[in-house]
Amino acid sequence: MIRAFFPGSFDPIHYGHIDIASRASRLFDEVVIGVYNKPMKNMLFTPEERIAMAKRTFEEEPKIVVQGYNKLTVDFAREINAKVIVRGLRVFSDFEYEFRMALANHRLAQDIEVVALITNEEHTFLSSTTVREIASLGGNISTMVPSYVAEALNQKFAEMNDDRPNVHMTSLRD
């Protein structure tokens, strides 16, 4: 039985993440989606909201489970007995970051392999930052996220009730 761990911020989950998790579930016996809840960057959604949206996304997928975590990724992977960490690759700039992360994780835990899946070409441009930016400006995100995520984004930005844009796109990474 090979359990894979797919960590990320998922702020919010979008079709790029969903595609990677679904494909990983065809390769491994179980995929645990780890919603990191102590990121250094500011999040739009609370950990509970991000976990709830991810859980709803995979409620019909018995091989995919969702958990929050707030420790070193390799430590959590070991705790849940995952032998593989799954990541997704979109553009070349992802590669450098993921390459460094994979080497660091391998230094920390040689018993855990990092497997990177190449994005589906239709999701190449998709990131949580892009989705948040478009939603904050009232754009149509229906092809990028499930309907309940789009509703949560619209509600969040409505609640903010602020004339100034709250989210800025600063880089290709989210």
> Which CB atom, from 87 or from 132, has the smaller least distance to ligand ADP?
87
Catalytic status, residue 128: yes
> Exactly one of 14, 17, 50, 87 is catalytic; which is it?
17
Binding site for ligand ADP (CB under 6 A): 8-10, 16-17, 20, 87-88, 90, 94, 119, 123, 126-128, 174
Compute the distance between CA of residue 24 and CA of residue 17 in angstroms, rounded to an integer: 11
To the nearest whole angstrom, how small is the minimum distance from the Cβ of residue 17 to ligand ADP? Answer: 5
Q: Which is nearer to ligand ADP, 129 or 136 (CB)?
A: 129
First to last CA, the chain: 32
Cα angle at 117 between 119 and 111, to 5 degrees? 155
Label the pairing between strands 30-36 and 3-8. parallel
Residue with tokens 């892009």: 130
The whole-angstrom separation of Cα 56 and Cα 33 is 12
Q: Provide CB contacts within 8 A for 74, sequence distance 6+.
A: 85, 105, 108, 109, 112
Say whether 17 is catalytic: yes
Question: Which residue in 9, 25, 127, 128 is the catalytic one?
Answer: 128
Q: How far is the CB of 143 from ligand ADP (least distance, A)?
A: 12
**Catalytic residue at 14?**
no
| Least Cβ distance, residue 127 to ligand ADP (angstroms) | 5
Nearer to ligand ADP, 10 or 28 (CB): 10
- Shortest Å distance, C-beta 60 to ligand ADP: 21
Bridge partners (DSSP) listed for residue 85 = 5, 114
41 is catalytic: yes
Question: Which residues are identified as catalytic?
Answer: 17, 41, 90, 128
